[in-house]
Amino acid sequence: MRFASLASIDIKNKADWQDRFYLTFDVDWASDEVLAYAIDMVEQSGVAATWFITHETHMLSRLRANPLFELGIHPNFNALLIGQAEKGEDHCSIIKRLLDIVPEAKTVRSHSLTQSTHLLNMFVELGLTHDSNVFIPWHAGGELYPWQNWNGLTRIPYCWEDHVAIITNRFDLDGVCAAKGIRVLDFHPIHLALNTDSIERYEKAKPFQRDWKILCNMANKGDGVRTSLEILLSKGAED
């Protein structure tokens, strides 16, 4: 089982990305303790990963120190869509603010997967080369592959997301492992900390996301998001 980062994908070289696994993490404003917990899990397995950053944190220096890690950006355009953006804020300022935090970023995934022709062009204008804004569940069938957009952006679909697994109660990754083509998985640090198994558990924990001790006490002891990643990482370690 081979792991790689998204920005390493060259669509012209199918042998390079075919049948590889790509771990991605939407940081989603996680506390440093929650983020450190997720980093510990991945680092202990020695595999590559892409981290989509939402905010400034001293944990960025730790992520940058690992040559197997790639930092991308995770812009949130939701306030613009519902008319609650701060005065003078637009899509460009949102992207640029994150690029000021992560100037080396080449990859992007929007919060809530927000995208449009204008945004895709803006990504390229601001120096981003790869995006992962398309979710196609692995069980939809067919072989997933990256493609080049009309503007040169490399577009990379992902086939598994922890939030969807929580909603559908489908935590088993055997189907993902057996699927053909590129396999990109999306995790969130908060769901690793809680080992989330239901939306109810997550909603109850929301008010305590900055309190590490309470989160630990509220964590699921059975099968959930964390156990799914643990099994996947153990397979990677075996290979």
Other C-beta atoms lying within 10 Å of the C-beta of residue 90:
11
What digits encode the pLDDT tens for the residues 164-190? 999 999 999 999 999 989 999 999 999
Q: Is the per-residue pLDDT at 150 higher than 70?
A: yes
Whole-number percent of the chain with pLDDT over 70: 98
What is the structure's pLDDT at 239?
A: 45
CATH superfamily of 6-238: Glycoside hydrolase/deacetylase (3.20.20.370)
* Phi, psi of 197, deg, nearest 5: -125, -5
Residue 210 — very low, low, confident or very high, per pLDDT cuts 50/70/90?
Answer: very high
Averaged pLDDT for residues 81-105: 94
Among 116-120, 175-179, 196-200, the minimum mean pLDDT is found in: 175-179
What is the structure's pLDDT at 87?
A: 84
What digits encode the pLDDT tens for the residues 5-40? 999 999 999 988 988 999 999 999 999 999 999 999
What is the structure's pLDDT at 16?
A: 84
Tell me the pLDDT of the chain averaged across its residues: 95
Averaged pLDDT for residues 52-63: 98
What is the structure's pLDDT at 201?
A: 97
Q: Is the per-residue pLDDT at 133 higher than 50?
A: yes
pTM score above 0.85 = yes
Of the two residues 237 and 37, the one the predictor is more confident about is 37
Q: Alpha-carbon distance 195 to 197, whole Å?
A: 6
Q: Is the per-residue pLDDT at 236 higher than 80?
A: no
Residue 53 — very low, low, confident or very high, per pLDDT cuts 50/70/90?
Answer: very high
Residue 141 — very low, low, confident or very high, per pLDDT cuts 50/70/90?
Answer: confident
Q: Is the per-residue pLDDT at 55 higher than 50?
A: yes
Q: Is the per-residue pLDDT at 115 higher than 50?
A: yes
What is the structure's pLDDT at 85?
A: 84
